[in-house]
Amino acid sequence: MPVFTPVTGDGFALTVSDRSPDVVFRHLAVVAETDPGDPIALAITVANKQIEKHEDFLSDDLLCRDYAARMLDTAGARDIARSLTIHAPV
């Protein structure tokens, strides 16, 4: 999967600098056609999953499941990438 190093999150927006629209849309097309993967497996890689004050009482497995359910929407991200690539410039 491509690495987007010059990208920052702006709430519900994504700011991409130093890349042409062509390059961005090519990367989005890869995301759009890739299996979204398991959000729990992705949550395992997150260093700081504790958000709420009582989450330190959860096992690591439950904390990963909670984080994945609340913070990660891998299928939704793929669907958004698909909708953006539909409107990609030719």
Reported as a single tens digit per residue, the pLDDT across 1-11 is 555 555 555 56
Structural domain includes residue 54: yes
- Tokens standing for residue 60: 């690591």
- pTM value is 0.69
1 occurs within a structural domain: no
Q: What is the pLDDT of residue 14?
A: 73
Give the pLDDT score at 8. 58
Residues of the chain with confidence (pLDDT) below 50 = none
pLDDT given for residue 62 in this prediction: 95
Residue 29 lies in a domain: yes
Q: Domain limits at 80?
A: 7-86
Is 2 part of any domain? no
Position 66 in a domain: yes
CB 60 within 8 A of CB 48: no
| Residue 4 DSSP one-character state | -
- pLDDT score of 6: 54
Number of domains in the chain: 1
Q: Taken in order 20, 34, 61, 67, is the CA torsion positive or negative? A: positive
44, part of any domain? yes
User: Which pLDDT score is estimated for 87?
Assistant: 73
Which residues of the chain form beta strands (DSSP E)? 7-10, 13-16
